[in-house]
Amino acid sequence: MGVEVWVPATTANLGPGFDCLGAALDFGNRFRFALRGAGEPVEVVGADLPADNLAYRAFALVYERLGQPVPPVTLTLELEVPLARGLGSSATAIVAGVLAAHRLLGEPLPETELLNWAVALEGHPDNVVPAWRGGCCLVCGVHVCSIPWHPDILPVLAIPEFTLSTAAARAVLPEQVPYHDAVTNLGALGCLLQGLKRGDPALLRQGLQDRLHQPYRRRLIPGYDQVEQAALAAGAYGVVISGAGPTLLALAAPAQATAVATAMAQAWQEVGVQATARVTRVSDKGAQVKS
Ligand code: HSE
């Protein structure tokens, strides 16, 4: 008996939407949980991960909370989302584990309760929620708003070879921010939501500004300034850090997207960082569970 879950990659924050805005992308990770006999060890196939990996810990959490013994599994992984690059790989694991266990237990709980467990495990909602539901999501307390995304706005990812842990990228954030910076972000987030809906370049340019996390994190990403400049010169609306980084995300019109991707990868190479760039899409497809 088993269950398979596919979960999309996500890009969180999108500049000013720190810890509250994220979007599902058109590629993802597949996790197959096949139950093993009691007493057998957990087996992981397809990636070099320990038995107590995040997907299995999320899976176990649901069994434990429902008072059931946690069964061993063979966990088979097909991973397309690079690890520790700011593209929601940990959210894919958490969502997959929670949804797989819930399906195997006969789906006794309301979705919102499970989603809350998944968010609590991750610590912030802006990858987990769009990974689960698909599309672009704004999360505020218990509310999830689906944010319209104009089809002519393409996310362009420049993914460097080096990794950056979310913990390290959160450790550089200050306890407090200047009042003016907080106010700037409020306006930018409003502009961004309108810009995403209308596909309006001027609103997007203004709306992709952030003062809450990027000023502190950009120094953790060698080549940030060069890659940003290259993307803007190639016609991007703006460049932000994808999630906690180090991937950089540009938003661009379809006519410019390929040139923006090439320019970003080249700029990184010129400062000695190998990077791959890809043009993606925001996808309405959230996590898919198959028994
Ligand atoms: N909002 C989170 C952060 C996303 O920026 O730290 C990390 O996955």
SS3 at position 144: strand
Q: What is the pTM of this model?
A: 0.96
The pLDDT tens digits for 114-146 are 999 999 999 999 999 999 999 999 999 989 999
The pLDDT value given to residue 120: 97
The pLDDT value given to residue 129: 98
Q: Is the CB of 124 under 6 A from ligand 1?
A: yes
Summarize the confidence of residues 265-269 as an average pLDDT: 98
Structural contact between residues 86 and 245, judged by C-beta atoms closer than 8 angstroms: yes
Q: Is the CB of 122 under 6 A from ligand 1?
A: no
The pLDDT tens digits for 217-247 are 999 999 999 999 999 999 999 999 999 999 9
Summarize the confidence of residues 184-198 as an average pLDDT: 98
The pLDDT value given to residue 145: 97
Calculate what percentage of the chain has a pLDDT beyond 90.
Answer: 99
Q: Is the CB of 247 under 6 A from ligand 1?
A: no
Determine the Cα–Cα distance for residues 13 and 9; give it in Å rounded to an integer.
14
Atom 4 of ligand 1: nearest residue by CA position:
243
The pLDDT value given to residue 158: 98
Q: Is the CB of 12 under 6 A from ligand 1?
A: yes
The pLDDT value given to residue 202: 97
The pLDDT tens digits for 29-88 are 999 999 999 999 999 999 999 999 999 999 999 999 999 999 999 999 999 999 999 999
Residue 13 CA: nearest ligand 1 atom is 1
Given the candidates 3.40.50.170, 1.10.420.10, 3.40.50.2300, 3.30.230.10, the CATH classification of the domain at 2-147+283-290 is 3.30.230.10
Residue 126 CA: nearest ligand 1 atom is 1
User: By C-alpha distance, which of 258, 97, 234, 226 is closest to 160?
Assistant: 226
The pLDDT value given to residue 119: 97
The pLDDT value given to residue 24: 98
Determine the Cα–Cα distance for residues 223 and 270; give it in Å rounded to an integer.
9
The pLDDT value given to residue 237: 98
Domain 154-279 has CATH 3.30.70.890: yes
Structural contact between residues 180 and 188, judged by C-beta atoms closer than 8 angstroms: no
Band (161; pLDDT cuts 50, 70, 90): very high
Alpha helices per DSSP H over 8-160: 54-65, 89-104, 111-122, 128-133
The pLDDT value given to residue 88: 98
The pLDDT value given to residue 189: 98
The pLDDT tens digits for 205-219 are 999 999 999 999 999
Q: Where are the domains of the chain?
A: 2-147+283-290, 154-279
Atom 6 of ligand 1: nearest residue by CA position:
244
Q: Is the CB of 127 under 6 A from ligand 1?
A: yes
The pLDDT value given to residue 153: 98
